[in-house]
């Protein structure tokens, strides 16, 4: 037996040395094609053109890329340059064109060239750096929707006309619709939503749609709705969106969602809220699959409805109750039962160290916490976060004057971004 054990040890040692030598002698030719594509996805479009000239294998792997991204570049290419690049990648499935300018109707043939050359494109994310005329936007959408798009994510301040809304509504393949900062009327917004695309609807920065009229009609027409996002809590949108707002969301809209949209998973309605506990409780009782809830600056809510939400919805991962002044430590003790919670935003809420300590102990998977503009928070709460939340990577304590540098130093040392 001893000799057999010694032999086994020598065999394992030989195998480990062989593996180490194989790794040391490995070259880039030994990388599988799937891993090579993952590496190439991180390059910008201009670098990909150089990569395709290295060798035949790199040319084949780069040609199979399904996504080209220009976001984050300091100097954005012209639309013509970008289209001529995309033509060399016929297998593209997703385009992210943030920063690419579409100036006027003279550039429409370039978009037509892109549509005819890359017929497999399913997703377009385009943040227009320049605001074209509404008529030009309609013609641009007419060309893009010749593709069998499953997702359309657009950001522009051009008014979406009735013709453009009708064209989007006629696209039977769309599954996700997202418009950001786009002035659009309630009838036109309802016109562009089809039963196929009714699962995912996002109108960020479109606060003019936050009204009981739109939400009631939407809930009645889209009973399979799973994701709903209206407006935004970011201050940069506030002045622009307030010029177009025409109403408020009250319990009437929430009762309609509770009655018709029982499969709701995401509910984000930011600002212009006068929803009381009765409205949120109705949604909590009827929509147990909710995982993401954002109700920004709703001063009619109290801790009672938030406690009911946590009790009924056991899959919560994202909660934003910033500037909900009725939220207190009782709500935080209930939120502490959400062991899967990853993001919690409580800006300017009436909470103390006791509530934050309870959340820290009950939510070990917390990644982001916003407790800014709260004067009753001290180093005690931040030290509890450092001790019980090892995955916390972002902490916002701007305006929370009770927190000192000594309190958040342990978080900073381990790499957590502390905003103060």
pLDDT tens for 273-283 read: 889 999 999 99
To 10 degrees, what angle do helices 108-117 and 134-144 make? Answer: 10
Element (H, E) at 2: helix 2-25
Q: Would you say how long the chain is, in residues?
A: 420
Can you give the pTM of this predicted structure? 0.80
Report DSSP state, residue 216.
Answer: H
Q: Which domains does the chain have, with CATH numbers?
A: 25-65 (1.20.1280)
Parallel, antiparallel, or unpaired: how do β-strands 318-320 and 343-345 relate? parallel
359 burial via Cβ count (<10 Å: 0-12, 13-18, 19+): buried
Helix (H) or strand (E) holding 6, with range, is helix 2-25
Q: What's the confidence (pLDDT) of residue 241?
A: 41
Task: Give the pair of three-digit tokens for residue 405.
Answer: 């540098």
The phi and psi torsions of 183 (rounded to 5 degrees) equal -65, 120
Backbone angles phi and psi of 124, in degrees to 5: -130, 125
Instruction: Compare 29 and 145 and report the one with higher pLDDT.
Output: 145
- For residue 99, the model assigns a pLDDT of 67
How far apart CA 385 and CA 391 sit, in angstroms, is: 10
For tokens 């996700």, name the residue. Answer: 176
**φ and ψ at 264, to 5 degrees?**
-60, 130
pLDDT digit string, tens, across residues 135-185: 788 888 888 888 888 888 888 777 888 888 888 888 888 888 888 878 888
Residues 359/371, Cβ–Cβ less than 8 Å: no
Mean pLDDT score across all residues of the chain: 83
- DSSP track, 15-44: HHHHHHHHHHH--GGGS-HHHHHHHHTTS-
Question: What is the model's pLDDT at position 240?
Answer: 40
SS3 content of the chain, % helix, strand, coil (to 5): 45, 15, 45
Give the model's pLDDT for residue 131. 61
Q: What is the per-residue pLDDT for 233?
A: 47
Higher-confidence position of 420 and 343? 343
Quickly list H helices, 41-170.
45-51, 56-63, 79-86, 108-117, 134-144, 162-169
Cβ atoms of 291 and 320 within 8 Å: the answer is: no
Report DSSP letters for 293-343, one per residue: EEEET-TT--HHHHHHHHHH-TT--EEE-TT-TT--HHHHHHHTT-TT--E
Residues facing 294 on adjacent strands:
268, 320
Q: Which of 85, 113, 109 has the alpha carbon at shortest distance from 97?
A: 85
Mind listing the pLDDT tens digit for each residue in 256-275?
A: 999 999 999 999 988 778 89
Tell whether the model's pLDDT for residue 130 goes beyond 80.
no
Q: Can you list the alpha helix ranges (DSSP code H) found in 118-161?
A: 134-144
Distances (CA, A) of 157 to 76, 131, 176, 243, 344: 20, 6, 20, 13, 30
């Amino acid at each position: 037996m001893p000799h057999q054990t010694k032999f086994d040890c020598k065999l394992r040692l030989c195998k480990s040395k062989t593996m180490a030598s194989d790794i040391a002698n490995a070259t880039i030719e030994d990388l599988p094609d799937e891993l090579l594509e993952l590496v190439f996805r991180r390059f910008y479009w201009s670098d990909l053109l150089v990569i395709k000239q290295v060798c035949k294998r790199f040319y084949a792997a780069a040609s199979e890329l399904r996504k080209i991204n220009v976001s984050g570049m300091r100097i954005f290419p012209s639309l013509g340059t970008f289209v001529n690049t995309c033509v060399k990648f016929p297998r593209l499935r997703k385009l992210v064109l943030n920063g690419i300018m579409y100036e006027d109707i003279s550039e429409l043939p370039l978009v037509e060239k892109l549509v005819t050359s890359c017929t497999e494109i399913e997703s377009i994310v385009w943040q227009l750096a320049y605001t074209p005329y509404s008529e030009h936007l309609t013609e641009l959408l007419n060309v893009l929707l010749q593709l069998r798009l499953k997702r359309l994510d657009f950001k522009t301040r051009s008014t979406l006309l009735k013709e453009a809304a009708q064209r989007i509504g006629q696209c039977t393949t769309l599954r996700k619709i997202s418009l950001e900062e786009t002035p659009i009327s309630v009838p036109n917004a309802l016109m562009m939503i089809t039963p196929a695309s009714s699962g995912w609807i996002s109108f960020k920065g479109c606060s003019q749609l936050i009204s009981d009229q739109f939400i009631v009609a939407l809930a009645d027409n889209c009973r399979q709705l799973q994701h709903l996002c209206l407006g935004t809590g970011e201050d940069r949108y506030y002045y622009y969106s307030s010029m177009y707002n025409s109403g408020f969301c009250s319990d009437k809209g929430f009762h309609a969602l509770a009655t018709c949209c029982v499969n709701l998973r995401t509910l984000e309605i930011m600002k212009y809220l006068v929803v009381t506990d009765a409205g949120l409780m109705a949604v909590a009782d009827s929509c147990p699959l909710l995982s993401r809830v954002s109700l920004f600056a709703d001063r009619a809510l109290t801790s009672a409805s938030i406690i009911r939400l946590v009790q009924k919805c056991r899959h919560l991962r994202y909660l934003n109750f910033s500037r909900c002044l009725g939220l207190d430590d009782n709500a935080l003790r209930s939120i502490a039962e959400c062991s899967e919670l990853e993001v919690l935003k409580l800006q300017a809420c009436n909470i103390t160290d006791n509530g934050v300590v309870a959340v820290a102990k009950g939510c070990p998977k917390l990644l982001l916490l916003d407790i800014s503009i709260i004067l009753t928070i001290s180093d005690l709460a931040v030290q509890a976060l450092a001790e019980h939340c090892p995955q916390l990577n972002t902490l916002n304590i701007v305006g929370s004057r009770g927190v000192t540098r000594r309190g958040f130093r342990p978080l900073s040392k381990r790499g957590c971004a502390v905003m103060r």
